[in-house]
Amino acid sequence: MLETKRLFIREMVQSDLDALCTILCDEEVMQIAYGHAFTVEEAQQWLNRNLKRYEDYGFGLWAVICKETNEMIGQCGLTMQQWRGQGILEIGFSFQKAYWHQGYAIESALACKEYAFSALNADWVYAIIRDINISSQKVAIRTGMQMIDQDSKNFRNIDMELLLYAVERTKELNQNRSLILPISSDLNIQLTSLNFSKHEQDYHLINLENSKAEQ
């Protein structure tokens, strides 16, 4: 579905469950984002939800395949999430720990952002990240996002502080420019944006006709 310099990004299938479990069932990988590792049954439910997303929306979290090894090393994609009662389009990602700190999350997230803007015609793309997840915050910033809001959530008896990052399709976040970012019908947040460095990656989109958004 998507291709970058080092990666193929495609829909997950049932045979990806074992590779998915190396991510979702790893305590170190999952602790910072969800507070615990998933069971195999929970990983299957996660996979099922994304298979249903493909049917309903034409997108979801996708398998990230390393071109060099043809191995599924992570997941990255787009999902509809709730923030303050409004649906938002979110980029999400997680990778096997053996592939951390090698730029794969940034590379795949940039491709998904471009897909959201080019194929889905989205005006805004968001990322919801725990306040303690510094690595994912850095990825969001490197893809052009800026933190615009925060909220609290209790997930399985764990109190979590969540940060909302966002990037707009038609505007760059230039230094000292004031923005009004729509989060919900009754909430507008005004901020002065910061100057972020850009991370350049070569990527292109293929088989965009697979997106139901274009039908």
Residue 215: inside a domain: no
Residue 189: inside a domain: no
Helix (H, G, I), strand (E, B) or coil at 14: helix
Residue 40: inside a domain: yes
How many structural domains comprise the chain? 1
Pairing of strands 2-4, 7-10: antiparallel
- Kindly give the parts of the chain with pLDDT less than 70: 171-215
The residue range of the domain holding 166 is 2-170
Residue 187: inside a domain: no
> How confident is the model at residue 190, as a pLDDT?
29
> How confident is the model at residue 9, as a pLDDT?
98
Question: What does pTM read for this prediction?
Answer: 0.78
- Alpha-helical (H) ranges within the chain are 17-24, 27-34, 40-57, 104-118, 134-142
Question: What CATH number is attached to the domain comprising 166?
Answer: 3.40.630.30
Q: Which amino acid is at 106?
A: I
Quote the CA–CA distance of 113 and 109 in Å, as a whole number.
6
pLDDT tens digits for range 127-164: 999 999 999 999 999 999 999 999 998 877 778 899 99
Residue 181: inside a domain: no
> How confident is the model at residue 171, as a pLDDT?
57
